[in-house]
Chain A
């Protein structure tokens, strides 16, 4: 039998939020942050939300790189608030980075995982989180001092408030399967770097 069974840790309620509303509702002031996104859905969504603003560094590949890129940025810019926004697939590829980040404990970094439980870019295969792996529990076990699991509109409102506060945090934003907001992106990688640095560093 080749079918995969759901793990017994899969005890969260079914996701009800639509990412196209939930991500902009959570990050309602993207201009307040330096933002690094993982590839695919998160990159498309944040590009669409911000019109490719230069305070956004959105990956077009390099799966697994978003988390630690955000750490390097957060350590380099301790007076700015840094957001890492990435999907469950990208984060699953770099879970060790959660432990590395917790040891540094940068008070200006929030990691938001937009968890749809699927690999949306590659044929919508169910991901480990879709089968019950809990990235919020992993973040807590890695030593993140604050972990929030967002399932409802009420949770979203609380998350939006917490984003304005200091302190390292992890937010698991649980969303239904379905497409992200989309906008045609510039996929020339070195322009992403140059635009971001010019806007931040002059």
Chain B
């Protein structure tokens, strides 16, 4: 039986086996393993961003050149991306983003709630499909489904990694 708790490493392997080569991110604890694995991977581009909407445009450019990108961000960063999601919707670019949640299950910092609670409706308002994982065993099947939806069907898909899964930060 596979141990579901090592989902971050298996997630990196899944993305690489799906030929994702551009890993763009604003750092977040929930994405630590993916970020570190991409930095250690000579066959991938590890791309730290100054703000999350850079990653939306980067994913469009990767697609123009025939590569696959993933955008790793915290739910706060979704708000920074809104207008550039019109580039994705209008041009029908594929977009895969993994969003670690704040302002969610067990959040102890009230500053996180407005954007955390708005994350899903904002993404949907801009035409993205939203999937969600709250249990370790959900991650690999959910991201596998998202990969198919994004790169075979040219959809924009956000996979939300809930605080029930990644843990609420202690204050």
Given A100-B47, A104-B47, A190-B92, CB of A73 within 8 Å of CB of B62? yes
- Please indicate which of the listed interface residues B48, B53, B91 has the most CB atoms of chain A within 10 Å of its own CB: B91
A-B contact count (CB 8 A): 120
- Chain A interface bracket (under 10, 10 to 19, 20 to 34, 35 or more): 35 or more
Which residues of chain B are within 8 angstroms of A62 by Cβ–Cβ distance? Answer: 57, 83-84, 86-87, 90
* Total contacting residues, chain B, CB less than 8 A: 32
Q: Does A6 contact B (CB under 8 A)?
A: no
Q: Is B61 an interface residue (CB 8 A)?
A: yes
A68 within 8 A of B: yes
B132 is an interface residue with CB less than 8 A from chain A: no
CB-defined interface of B46-90 with A at 8 Å, one 1/0 digit per residue?
011111011111111111111101000000000000011011001
**B54 cross-chain contacts in A, Cβ below 8 A:** 68, 94, 96-97, 100
Decide if B64 touches A200 in the complex (CB within 8 Å).
yes
Q: Which residues of B contact A22 (CB under 8 A)?
A: none
Cβ contacts under 8 Å, B16 to chain A: none
Contact in complex: A196, B64 (CB < 8 Å)? yes
How far is it, in angstroms, between the C-alpha of A200 and the C-alpha of B66 when the chains are bound?
9
A64, A69, A100, A104: the one contacting B64 at CB < 8 Å is A69
**Shortest CB distance A22–B (Å):** 26
Cβ-defined partner of B48 (8 Å) among A69, A71, A77, A100: A100
Known: A64-B84, A65-B60, A69-B60. Is A75-B65 also a contact (CB below 8 A)? yes
Task: List A contacts of B63 (CB < 8 A).
Answer: 72, 193, 197
* Identity of the chain A residue whose Cβ is nearest the Cβ of B66 in the assembled complex: A201
23 A-B pairs whose Cβ atoms sit less than 8 Å apart in the complex: A34-B64, A34-B65, A36-B61, A36-B64, A59-B87, A61-B90, A62-B57, A62-B86, A65-B56, A68-B56, A68-B58, A69-B87, A72-B67, A75-B47, A75-B61, A100-B47, A100-B49, A104-B45, A189-B87, A190-B91, A193-B63, A197-B63, A201-B66
Which positions in B face A, CB cutoff 8 Å?
21-22, 45, 47-51, 53-67, 69, 83-84, 86-87, 90-93
